[in-house]
Amino acid sequence: MLNSSRYDVIVVGGGLSGLTATVALSKCGLSVVLVDRDPAEKVRCADRDGRTTAIAAAGRAMLDALGVWSALANQAEPILDIRVSDGHSPYYLHYDHREVGEQPMGHIIENAHLKRVLMDTVEITPLVERRNGSEIEILEVGTGDVSVVLRDGARLTGCLLVGADGRASQVRNLAGIRATRLDYGQSSMVFTVAHEHPHRGVAHECFLPGGPLAFLPMCGDRSSVVWTEQTEVAKAFFELNDNDLADALSHRFSDILGVLSIEGRRWLYPLSLVHAEKQTAPRLALVGDAAHGIHPVAGQGFNLSLRDIAALAEEAVAAVRLGIDIGGPEVLRRYQTQRRFDTMTLVLATDAINRLFSNDIGPLRLLRSAGLAMVDRIPPLKQAFMRNAMGLMGDLPSMLRGHLP
């Protein structure tokens, strides 16, 4: 552990994005202090997050480059195919990973396991110090550094501050960065089901009038269900007993997985969009939900965070090699430029998909079915969509190509 209160980077936020940013920047040789408002004894509670995370192929390559994938692989279920349908329409879109190569399109992993592995990595990394049970109250930007003052009065100073503290980001607020907020009026129920038939690595997304219903393959004959409805409807379903909830779920989904049974706890999450007007301020960079909390319809939230972190790490390493200040305006300008188009594209796309599919308007229903069928029958277009979902499009930072910058 470091004894100094001066570091290369201060990362605020102990969730998946903050932990990954800490690992990535420290792997690049930078000293990092991670500030997490949760006390140490609370952060390892395995049942605090019932969600799973979809990690695209490029994201898996990045986690491998960071040295954490080997500890995740045995709990990560490959996504071999994705089947997208609109209600009970006979038309659907089928993504088969073999159409673009041999590797899976991605993997599904439980958030609790992913967070545990990232925390273990942080704890054994000599360039990292953790400050648990700490929250920043004051942000001060100087000409050559940035300082934060914690609630207990401790002062931390660094060259760069990374805000990875989620949708209600205190870093973003203290920096005066405005954010657009939109309440979707929807909530997602998240729980695990066991099923009679094997999922065979197929992820299903079925669009219903109230919102998307996703079955994400997990290890064994189990799937993670993310069922989105209008909030009041979701609350009513959430209160059902396990048998009645399984019956309601079966009524809305095909019988391809056979008999369903609810396993363990369930969680209910309200859905909203949060989009920061910019991703940087003097000596500050936002990553993950602090910059862009999107609708889960495409399962791309964490992958978008990984792209932020990979781009920021690449710019920081380039600056070190050139002898440039890693928190200087040129580094942050390049990071903002790199991330602007990708971020805005996904924010708009997920919002549009949710609006287009989450209704029962007849003409739109016909248009949706025709669109899914058309894409399914045009191989070059379908392959482009698949490669984009895998995170393999564009000029990727080194980490997303599987090696450190």
Mind giving me the DSSP string for 18-33?
Answer: HHHHHHHHHHTT--EE
Q: What is the pLDDT of residues 379-388, one digit of tens each?
A: 999 999 999 9
Helix (H, G, I), strand (E, B) or coil at 72: helix
Q: Tell me: pLDDT of 393 over 80.
A: yes
Is residue 278 scored above 80 in pLDDT? Answer: yes
DSSP for 390-404 reads: TT-SSS--GGGGTS-
Q: Give the three-state DSSP class for 260.
A: strand
pLDDT of residue 41: 67
Q: CA torsion, points 366, 367, 368, 369, in degrees to nearest 10?
A: 50
80 versus 365: the higher-pLDDT residue is 80
Q: What is the structure's pLDDT at 47? A: 56
Report the chain's mean pLDDT, rounded to a whole number. 94
Check residues 34 and 370 and name the one with the higher pLDDT.
Answer: 34
Whether the per-residue pLDDT at 46 is higher than 90: the answer is: no
What Rg do the C-alpha atoms of the chain give, in angstroms?
21
pTM of the full predicted structure?
A: 0.95
For the chain, domains (ranges, CATH) are 6-76+107-181+273-357 (3.50.50.60)
Q: Is the pLDDT reported for residue 294 higher than 50?
A: yes
DSSP secondary structure letters along 262-299 = EEEEEEEEEEEEEEES-SEETTEEE-GGGTEE--GGGS
Does position 51 have pLDDT exceeding 90, yes or no? no
| CB-based contact 193:259 (threshold 8 Å) | no
So what's the pLDDT on residue 43?
A: 63
**DSSP letter at 211?**
E
What is d(CA 169, CA 90) in angstroms, rounded to the nearest whole number? 43
pLDDT band at 44 (very low <50, low <70, confident <90, very high): low
Q: Is the pLDDT of residue 2 over 50?
A: no
pLDDT band at residue 3 using 50, 70 and 90 as cut-offs: very low
48 pLDDT exceeds 90? no
Rounded Cα–Cα distance for residues 320 and 14 (Å)? 25
- pLDDT per residue as tens digits for the range 180-200: 999 999 999 999 999 999 999
Task: For the chain, give the percent of residues with pLDDT over 90.
Answer: 85
312-324 pLDDT tens trace: 999 999 999 999 9
pLDDT digits (tens, 9 = 90+) for 342-370: 999 999 999 999 998 888 888 888 888 88
Higher pLDDT, 163 or 44: 163
Q: Is 90 exceeded by the pLDDT of residue 90?
A: no
